Chains A and B, each alone.
Chain A
Amino acid sequence: MARNRILGIVGVALVALATGFLLAGQVKAQLLTPSNDVARYQALVRSVQDLEKTNESSRAKIASLRAEIDALEAVAAGQSAATRDLQSQVADLRAHAGLTAVHGPGVEIDLRNGTPAPDQGGTTGYLINYQDVQDVVNLVFADGAEGVSVSGRRITPLSAFSGSAGQVIIDQGSPLSAPIKVFAVGDRNRLVTALEDPASLPDLRARQVRFQIAVTVTGSPDMKLPAYDSSLQIPHVSTS
């Protein structure tokens, strides 16, 4: 009888021990690991947010410095005809390089993400990517656009598009994601015709059908494009 009681106590103790280990394992796997993942993830997110803040303030500083330089040049131009001539040339060149805000007739192209296709789980074809933006920008320039901006970022002769799924990085700006708004100043009718041509933007049109990506083109009598506010350095180029 006493032997059975001892065996019973040992049995209960073993079951309790096993339950304890299982519980501890479960807590570690389900609770602690996600917490660590979250902490690590949040540290990365905080880094991105800090860098984006620095990026934004640097771009604001650049815009302000360019305005101050313009004002100083205007003062100098008031003192000499030669300086005034040079300033006029530079103003024209700056406008064509995207360093000056411009406005005029044109089009607005809105690009919005679609929905994941049920048979395409895991792919990112439903997201607007940098190549979509690159294709739209190339198309409007090929059809005579005189200036283009993408979600408030002015395109320049040195502009480059990069990014990963769903993110669009233009030059030194922080990443953009859909909805993306492309503004182009130029011949409105020509631009609308080019953008609505079924043969243009083949990849985007295929994904419009497959993933319901939204591409909306709207003509406007007066589009406003901001001035470029990032780096435009060519340290390796020399003129002959």
Chain B
Amino acid sequence: MRRRSGRAIEIWLIALLVALVATVQIRSQAEVERSLVGTDTTTLAFLIDDLHRANDALSVETADLMQRKAALQSGGSPAADQELAAEANRLRAIEGLVPVHGPGIVMVVDASGLQALDLQDALNNLAVAGAEAIAVNDHRVGMGVAILAVSGGVSIDGEVITPPWTISAIGDANRLAEAADLMTRQLRADRRVRQATYRVEAVIDIRAVTTERPYVYANQS
């Protein structure tokens, strides 16, 4: 009788162990499957890098806004005039309404058959690299400036631009140079491209401006 109950305990212990191992194994696999949906570790690492850079930029903006708020709180109307004039000047530069200058790169692409999408991709790559003002063949580009495929190639704001494309971008010259280096290498591998080069310049002058477009449909909330 004692021997039979001892054997039953052994069987229960073995069953418990098997159940435990199976549970741990199944939970571990399920956790891996659930957490790995969609994103691999390399992508996550790049994401962390991007978010660090983004949060640093947001901190700079926050500090700048706090400084402006403090100036307005302490200075009254004269301080407000000064702040508003500086803000107007900055926004005109951002919107491409005034000529600007600063460090950056000049990229020259001589090719036949490149599309509007190729130019849009190149401009977006420069924007990702922190371009603060861009012109292509002396046409200022930016939000609302149409870059379209036309029969003669590509048009910017209704004017056809003929190759070579000279893209001038103002911003952090090191970051822009990295982006331009990668782009020109890729472009040189494209059979349509005869030449793709870039140079870094201490001062780039962008004289071209865009025209103001008053709102017709949009209303400020």
Which residues of A are interface residues toward B (Cβ below 8 A)? 30-31, 34-35, 37-38, 40-42, 44-45, 47-48, 51-52, 54-55, 58-59, 61-62, 65-66, 68-69, 72-73, 76-77, 79-80, 82-83, 86-87, 89-91, 93-98, 100-106, 131, 134-135, 138, 141-143, 145-147, 155-162, 164-167, 169, 171-175, 177, 185-187, 203, 224-225, 230-240
Contact = CB atoms under 8 A, between A and B. Distances in A.
Interface string B81-124: 10111011111111110111111100000000000010011001
A41 B99 contact: no
Contact of B88 (A93, A141, A238): A93
B69 A234 contact: no
B128 interface: yes
B55 A94 contact: no
Contact of B28 (A35, A41, A135): A35
Contacts of B98: 239-240
Contacts of B45: 44
Interface stretch (B3-11, B36-44, B184-192): B36-44
B152 interface: no
B28 A47 contact: no
B32 A172 contact: no
B140 to A, nearest CB: 10
Nearest to B205: A240
Interface of B: 24-25, 28-29, 31-32, 35-36, 38-39, 41, 43-48, 50-55, 57-62, 64-66, 68-69, 72-73, 76-77, 79-81, 83-85, 87-96, 98-104, 117, 120-121, 124, 127-128, 132-133, 142-148, 170-172, 205, 212-213, 215-221
Given A35-B28, A157-B143, A161-B124, A146 B101 contact: no
27 contacts: A44-B45, A48-B44, A58-B62, A62-B65, A65-B69, A73-B72, A79-B77, A86-B84, A93-B88, A95-B220, A97-B91, A101-B220, A103-B219, A103-B221, A104-B217, A105-B217, A142-B148, A146-B216, A155-B143, A160-B127, A167-B43, A169-B50, A186-B217, A225-B218, A230-B57, A236-B170, A239-B89
B170 A141 contact: no
Interface pairs A-B: 4 shortest CB-CB: A76-B80, A160-B127, A172-B54, A142-B146
A141 B58 contact: no
B101 A240 contact: yes
Contacts of A61: 62
B215 A95 contact: yes
A174 B51 contact: yes
A86 B85 contact: yes
Contact of A48 (B51, B76, B94, B220): B51
A224 to B, nearest CB: 7
Contact of A51 (B25, B51, B64, B87): B51
A172 B143 contact: no
